[in-house]
């Protein structure tokens, strides 16, 4: 007679790991999109804001590389330069990107409405607050400094250049769990606004919540969202929700202000022995 045994964690949530731009700061994830457009413009290659947003959430050097590999962008590069882009081109643009982004992020560091209320609610529940980002450490020093002036300071921040590979690899989430001292990973929730955010959390074995309205998929700042005609607003928001749902997110909400009910539900599911 043979038996098998399976351990099942039925304890509470222990931590949330939050993205930055588009999730807690920079409503619409506007800072990086504008800088990507400018970096390519300086190379004589025009890219649209929609194109610039496509790989959002990844390490910014990877983001630039993926932009050069988009067929329509590659064709424009070939027409301008008479040759395909190279890894040297990617590196040169990344080196130009970093100081431009450091300058830009200070102007896009306002907290997204609901951030501090949600952080306080999480802390009242005893949850630790981690964070991951596609920004490098140099860029994040600016963002963290500005966010702190608004009262937001997570317990842990891991940047894309501090791990072997950024999103969608799980390493930033795993490093958060290590630094926060939390396990199992099913007791942690990853919250972000892009597909790579969701995949990062899933690959780490965490629950995932995606935010649609304030992030990259909607791609508009708070004023622009408020000015949309009702029909355009509903169409764009539904498209953002659908895109994030298709990436595998366990929950899709409009903003960080809406995540507490999801955390309640995850707590119930954990108590039943469920896992992500």
By annotation, the residues acting in catalysis are 19, 60
Give the residue extent of every domain in the chain.
Answer: 15-29+109-271, 31-107
Which CATH code is given to the segment(s) 31-107?
1.10.150.240
User: Residue 39's closest CA among 90, 106, 87?
Assistant: 90
Q: Per residue of the chain (276 residues), what is the pLDDT tens digit?
A: 676 777 788 899 999 999 999 999 999 998 888 899 999 999 999 999 989 998 888 888 999 999 999 999 999 999 999 999 999 999 999 999 999 989 888 888 899 999 999 999 999 999 999 999 999 999 999 999 999 999 999 999 999 999 999 999 999 999 999 999 999 999 999 999 999 999 999 999 999 999 999 999 999 999 999 999 999 999 999 999 999 999 999 999 999 999 999 999 999 999 998 999
DSSP states of 187-219 = GEEEEESSHHHHHHHHHTT-EEEEE-SSSTTT-
pTM check: above 0.85? yes
CATH class of 15-29+109-271: alpha beta
User: What distance in Å separates the CA atoms of residue 90 and residue 12, rounded to the nearest whole number?
Assistant: 44
133 sits in which H/E element:
strand 128-133
């Amino acid at each position: 007679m043979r038996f098998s045994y399976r351990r099942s964690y039925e304890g509470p949530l222990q931590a949330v790991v939050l993205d930055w731009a588009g999730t807690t700061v920079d409503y619409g994830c506007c800072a990086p999109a504008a800088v990507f457009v400018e970096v390519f413009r300086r190379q004589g290659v025009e890219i649209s804001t929609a194109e610039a947003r496509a790989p959002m959430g990844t390490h910014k050097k990877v983001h630039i590389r993926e932009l050069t590999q988009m067929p329509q962008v590659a064709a424009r590069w070939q027409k301008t330069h008479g040759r395909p882009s190279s890894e040297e081109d990617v590196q040169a643009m990344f080196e130009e990107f970093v100081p431009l982004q450091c300058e830009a992020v200070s102007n896009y560091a306002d907290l997204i409405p609901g951030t501090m209320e949600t952080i306080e609610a999480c802390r009242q529940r005893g949850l630790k607050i981690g964070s991951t980002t596609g920004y490098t450490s140099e860029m994040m020093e600016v963002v963290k400094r500005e966010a702190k002036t608004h009262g937001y300071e997570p317990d842990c921040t891991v940047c894309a250049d501090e791990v072997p590979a950024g999103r969608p690899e799980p390493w930033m989430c795993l490093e958060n769990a290590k630094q926060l001292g939390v396990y199992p990973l099913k007791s942690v929730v990853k919250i972000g606004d892009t597909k790579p955010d969701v995949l990062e959390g899933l690959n780490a074995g965490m629950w995932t919540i995606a935010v649609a309205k304030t992030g990259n998929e909607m791609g508009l700042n708070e004023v622009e969202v408020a000015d949309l005609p009702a029909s355009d607003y509903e169409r764009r928001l539904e498209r953002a929700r659908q895109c994030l749902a298709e990436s595998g997110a366990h929950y899709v909400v409009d903003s960080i202000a809406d995540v507490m009910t999801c955390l309640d539900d995850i707590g119930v599911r954990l108590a039943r022995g469920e896992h992500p």
